[in-house]
A and B are shown apart, each in its own frame.
Chain A
Amino acid sequence: MTETAPETAPETSGATSPAALARTPLDALHRRLGARMVPFAGYAMPVQYPAGILQEHLHTREKAGLFDVSHMGQLVLRAPSGKAEDAARALETLVPADIVSLAPGRQRYALLTDDAGGIRDDLMVSNQGDHLFVVVNAACKVADEAHLRDGLAGLCTVEPLADRALVALQGPRAEAALAALAPEVAAMRFMDARPVTILGAACLVSRSGYTGEDGYEISIPADRVEEICETLLNTPDVALIGLGARDSLRLEAGLCLYGSDLDTTTTPVEAALEWSIQKARRTGGARAGGFPGADVILRQLAEGATRRRVGLLPEGRAPVRAHTALYRDAEAGAPAGEVTSGGFGPSIGAPVAMGYVPVADAAVGTLLHADVRGRRLPVRVAAMPVVPNRYKRP
């Protein structure tokens, strides 16, 4: 028995020696609850608990899952004026999203782009009144911090939030579980982000996540996170969920994993993330362009790109995993595209994938063939998400 296709996240492939792995503030809790710990972006992280990935995935969709995402980067961007709007104006030089019009207490998904229009990272940005709060991917956080410091020098300061954990509480029972500790979170709507006191600890709560479910991400002082998590876990509806289920949940929800579905070789238009570039930043908008790669990205917004990220549903039962070549023909021809994430979707009880294909093959329903162990298996381009999201929209 040899694992031939490891977990899709490229962050797991870093040959970090176990001794060098960082630990999150919830490390002891994970081990106490029987987690299987794996290296991920330089951290020891729980890939699953004794319940297993299938049950953890389904528990999150049916009740509420609690995820440790403390490995992610939490940054504060502050302008000398003390106004979030000035930090927003500065950040817009590095991201194509409209940050300036982001109201206090609101959060938005954004991309750090490079001069060729490629994606350096994807991130969440919220307006906290006197500063911007930014959450970036674990594997990118060191590079992101340096890039933001360089790019924003003289315009705003960039400081990592020290001694903070980050957890996500996701699923239909998340609201009831968190509102039991902080009633005001029930009134929050999707992408609201504001300070909330939980068990006396000053936390920052956003109504967001990365599973397609309603829920929250909660930034918590490191020395209080275990107690708050244990209190949440005392609710029968809440269970700890590992990175394995986090990956299958986000895949069913059609959400990109940086390093697999997005990287510096993919542009926001190719990645079907046009929605993350608001009107103000597009040609003819109030603050059009002015971000790295704007020439490429604005041209692709107008004219389209040659390839596109699409959802894929294999017609058989075999999972079609990352790096699998996609063909137009069942037998002949060169590859037309490639799978970037793929596995089994526990909520649909079938394999699910996403990947890049030529725009001519990107229409929903297009039949393609995936080369799995030398056999070309039929897959169909599918609308994403394959499991409808259940965000609590404003």
Chain B
Amino acid sequence: MLKFTKDHEWLRLDGDVAVVGITDHAQEQLGDLVFVDLPGVGVSFDQGATAAVVESVKAASDIYAPIAGEVTEVNEAVTAEPGLVNSDPTGQGWLFKMKIADRAQLDGLLDEAGYKALLAG
């Protein structure tokens, strides 16, 4: 089950690790991605800190850490082929994994219904 942020990131919980990516809506708004700048493994972020940057032909966009934690793994496949984020944003296009520092922060995230309501705005 996915959790979402109002900044159009998603998280998939896997034990004490969260897999992070951007939503289908986000990739569609950004357009074809041509560059993905991922954080270093072992780097820790506060919730809301800029953790990655994705760039389309026309613009660069910050990706925020949806929760606090330490990066445990990054998806080298999207560095080599940024278009994976467009073609499969919640699957092969994941960006990085974080060790969850504070599980209470998960309660502040949106569920799928809440995210859909946000998009319907």
Chain A contacts to B: CB under 8 angstroms? 1-8, 47-48, 52-55, 57, 244-245, 247-248, 317-319, 321, 343-344, 346, 351, 373
Contacts and interface: CB of A to CB of B under 8 A. Distances in A.
B60 A346 contact: no
Contact of A57 (B8, B53, B56, B57): B57
B9, B56, B57, B59 — most chain A CB neighbours (10 Å): B57
Q: Which 7 A-B pairs have the closest CB atoms?
A: A344-B34, A54-B32, A5-B60, A53-B57, A1-B8, A7-B58, A344-B57
A18 to B, nearest CB: 16
Contacts of A319: 34-35, 55, 60
9 contacts: A1-B8, A2-B7, A3-B59, A54-B32, A245-B57, A247-B58, A317-B34, A318-B35, A318-B55
B11 to A, nearest CB: 14
A4 B60 contact: yes
A373 B53 contact: yes
B22, B60, B61, B63 — most chain A CB neighbours (10 Å): B60
B84 interface: no
A7 to B, nearest CB: 5
B55 to A, nearest CB: 5
Nearest to A5: B60
B26 interface: yes
Interface string B49-71: 00001111111111110000000
Given A1-B54, A245-B57, A346-B57, 12 more contacts: A1-B22, A2-B61, A3-B60, A5-B59, A6-B59, A52-B31, A54-B34, A54-B57, A248-B58, A319-B55, A343-B57, A344-B34
B32 A4 contact: no
Contacts of B111: none
Contacts of B57: 53-54, 57, 244-245, 248, 343-344, 346
A373 B31 contact: no
B78 to A, nearest CB: 12
B73 interface: no
Contact of A4 (B7, B53, B58): B53
A344 B82 CA distance: 13
B9 A1 contact: yes
A317 B35 contact: yes
B24 interface: no
Contacts of A346: 57
Contacts of A343: 57-58
Interface residues of B, number: 24
A318 B54 CA distance: 10
Contacts of B64: 1-2
A146 B85 CA distance: 48
A55 B31 CA distance: 11
A4 B56 contact: no
A1 B58 contact: no
Nearest to B60: A5
Contacts of A53: 31-32, 56-58
Contact of A1 (B32, B37, B62): B62
A280 to B, nearest CB: 40
Contacts of A6: 58-59
A54 B87 CA distance: 14
A8 B56 CA distance: 13
A368 B64 CA distance: 30
Contacts of B7: 1-2
A1 B35 contact: no
Contacts of A351: 34-35
A351 B22 CA distance: 23
A20 to B, nearest CB: 23
Nearest to A316: B35
B32, B62, B64 — most chain A CB neighbours (10 Å): B32
A377 to B, nearest CB: 11
Contacts of B35: 317-319, 344, 351
A1, A55, A346 — most chain B CB neighbours (10 Å): A1
A51 to B, nearest CB: 10
A97 B26 CA distance: 47
A349 B21 CA distance: 24
B89 to A, nearest CB: 11
B74 to A, nearest CB: 15
Nearest to A54: B32
Contacts of B58: 6-8, 47, 53, 244, 247-248, 343
A244 B34 contact: no
B20 to A, nearest CB: 12
A321 B60 contact: yes
Contacts of A48: 31
